[in-house]
Structure 1
Amino acid sequence: MKLPRVAICGRPNVGKSTLFNRLTRSRAALVHDLPGMTRDRSFGQVACLGEDGEPEEILELVDTGGLDFEGDDVITQGITRLALEALQEAHVVLLMVDAHDGWNPVDAEIAERLRPLGKPVLLVVNKIDGVKGGSPDGAFYELGFDSVHIISANHGDGVPDLLEAVRALLPFHRTPEEAEIHDPSEELRFAFIGRPNVGKSSLTNRLLGYERSLVSEVAGTTRDTVDTVFHQGERVYRLIDTAGIRRKGKTTEGAEKLSILKAKQAMARADVSLMVLDAVEGVTHQDAVVAGYAEEAGAAVVLVVNKWDLVPKDTWTALSFEEKLRHDLGFLRHAPLIFVSALTGQRVSKLFAMIGQVAEAHARRVPTGRLNQFLRESVAAMSPHATEGKTPKLYFMTQVGVRPPTFVIKANTDRGLHFSYIRYLENRLRVQFGFQGTPIRISVQKKQRGEDQPTDKAPVRRILDVGEGLRPGRRTRQAGEGRSRGRARR
Structure 2
Amino acid sequence: AICIRGDRPFTLWDTGGIAVPQSRDELSAQVRSVAEKALRESDVQLFVVDGKEGLSPLDEELARTLRKAQKPVVLVVNKIDNEKHEPLAAEFSSLGFEPTFAISAEHDRGISDLVDAISRLLPTPPETGYQPSTISYQPISIAIVGRPNVGKSSLINSIVRGERAIVSELPGTTRDAIDIHFERDGRKFVFIDTAGIRRRGKQSTSAEVFSVMRAERSIRRADICVLIVDLTMGVTAQDKRIAGLIQKARKPAIIILNKWDLVRPKRKGKQAAKQVVEETRARIFFLEYAPAVNTSAITGENVEKLFGLIATIQRAAQKRIGTGVLNRLLRQAFESNPPPMAKGKRLKLFYAAQTRSGGLARESFRSLEFAESVLAKSPSVEKPLLLPEFVLFVNDPRLMNETYRRYLEARIRKTEPYPGLPIVLTLRQRTGVRHDQRTR
With the shorter chain as reference, the TM-score category is 0.7 to 0.9
Q: CA deviation at 1:188?
A: 2.8
Contact 2:2 2:9 (8 Å CA) reproduced:
no
SS in 1 for 2:242: helix
Instruction: Give the 5 Å matches for 1:210-229.
Output: 210-229=162-181
Q: Partner residue of 2:418?
A: 435
Q: CA deviation at 1:184?
A: 7.5
Contact 1:272 1:359 (8 Å CA) reproduced:
no
Contact 2:89 2:102 (8 Å CA) reproduced:
no
Instruction: Give the 5 Å matches for 1:187-226.
Output: 187-226=139-178
Contact 1:206 1:345 (8 Å CA) reproduced:
yes
Cα distance change, pair 296–363 in 1 and its aligned pair in 2 (3 A): farther
Cα distance change, pair 151–179 in 1 and its aligned pair in 2 (3 A): farther
Q: CA deviation at 1:428?
A: 0.5
Cα distance change, pair 415–159 in 1 and its aligned pair in 2 (3 A): closer
1:157 to 2:157 alignment: no
1:109 to 2:86 alignment: no
**Separation of aligned partners in 2, 1:427 and 1:156:** 51
**Separation of aligned partners in 2, 1:319 and 1:433:** 23
**Separation of aligned partners in 1, 2:61 and 2:78:** 18
1:392 to 2:347 alignment: yes
Q: Partner residue of 1:120?
A: 72
SS in 1 for 2:13: strand
**Separation of aligned partners in 2, 1:86 and 1:181:** 30
> Deviations 1:7-54 (Å, cap 9, x if unpaired)?
xxxxxxxxxxxxxxxxxxxxxxxxxxxxxxxxxxxx3234424xxxxx
Q: Where do 5+ consecutive residues of structure 2 fail to align?
A: 359-385, 434-440
**Separation of aligned partners in 2, 1:328 and 1:283:** 7
> Deviations 1:52-104 (Å, cap 9, x if unpaired)?
xxxxx333333321222332221122112212221222222222222222222
Q: Partner residue of 2:281?
A: 326
Q: CA deviation at 1:388?
A: 0.8
Q: Partner residue of 1:447?
A: 430
Contact 1:103 1:137 (8 Å CA) reproduced:
no
Q: Partner residue of 2:398?
A: 415
Q: Partner residue of 2:438?
A: none
**Separation of aligned partners in 2, 1:372 and 1:232:** 40
Q: Partner residue of 2:2?
A: 44
SS in 2 for 1:124: strand
Q: Partner residue of 1:63?
A: 14
Paired residue for 2:268, among 288, 292, 314? 314
Instruction: Give the 5 Å matches for 1:127-142.
Output: 127-129=79-81, 132=84, 134-136=86-88, 138-142=90-94
Specify the code of the residue in structure 1 equivalent to 2:348: K
Q: Partner residue of 2:326?
A: 371
1:171 to 2:123 alignment: yes
Specify the code of the residue in structure 1 equivalent to 2:387: P
**Separation of aligned partners in 2, 1:352 and 1:417:** 37
Q: CA deviation at 1:105?
A: 2.1
Q: CA deviation at 1:263?
A: 1.6
Q: CA deviation at 1:424?
A: 1.0
Contact 1:271 1:359 (8 Å CA) reproduced:
no
Q: CA deviation at 1:314?
A: 0.9
Q: Where do 5+ consecutive residues of structure 1 fail to align?
A: 1-42, 50-56, 451-490
**Separation of aligned partners in 1, 2:85 and 2:347:** 75
**Separation of aligned partners in 1, 2:5 and 2:134:** 14
**Separation of aligned partners in 1, 2:303 and 2:155:** 8
Q: CA deviation at 1:261?
A: 1.7
Q: Partner residue of 2:370?
A: none
SS in 1 for 2:346: coil
Cα distance change, pair 124–182 in 1 and its aligned pair in 2 (3 A): farther
Q: CA deviation at 1:289?
A: 0.9
Contact 2:232 2:259 (8 Å CA) reproduced:
yes
Q: State the TM-score, normalized to the length of structure 2.
A: 0.83
**Separation of aligned partners in 2, 1:263 and 1:243:** 6
Instruction: Give the 5 Å matches for 1:222-261.
Output: 222-261=174-213
Specify the code of the residue in structure 2 equivalent to 1:433: E
Specify the code of the residue in structure 1 equivalent to 2:268: D
Cα distance change, pair 150–324 in 1 and its aligned pair in 2 (3 A): closer
Contact 1:276 1:304 (8 Å CA) reproduced:
yes
> Deviations 1:198-238 (Å, cap 9, x if unpaired)?
11111111122222211111111122222223222243222
Please say which structure displays the higher CA radius of gyration.
1
